[in-house]
Amino acid sequence: MLNSDRVVSKYQILDRVWQADYDGDGNVVEIFVSTLRRKLEAHGPRLIHTVRGVGYRLRRPPVPGDGPDPL
């Protein structure tokens, strides 16, 4: 994933997905992210994280065997 771990604001998502001329409800991003989260989490670990007051971050899924070294 090219931009994983990069925080993206609600307004950046709104501009990129719905374009600057969108004049609907600003909560459309929260609703979309919530729906996307539910669908993704049904098949694996949580990937979309909220950065309170800033936006959202997409994290890379964990790779098996990539954990801390055992003692």
Domains by residue range for the chain, with CATH? 7-58 (1.10.10.10)
- Looking at the chain, the whole-number percentage of residues with pLDDT higher than 90 is 42
How far, in Å, CA of 41 to CA of 60, rounded?
Answer: 13
pLDDT above 60 for 5: yes
Q: What's this model's pTM, rounded to 2 decimal places?
A: 0.72
pLDDT tier at 71, thresholds 50, 70, 90 = very low
The DSSP output letter for 69 is P
Nearest to 3 by CA among 55, 66, 52, 68: 55
Residue identified by tokens 């997409």 is: 58
Total residues belonging to the chain: 71
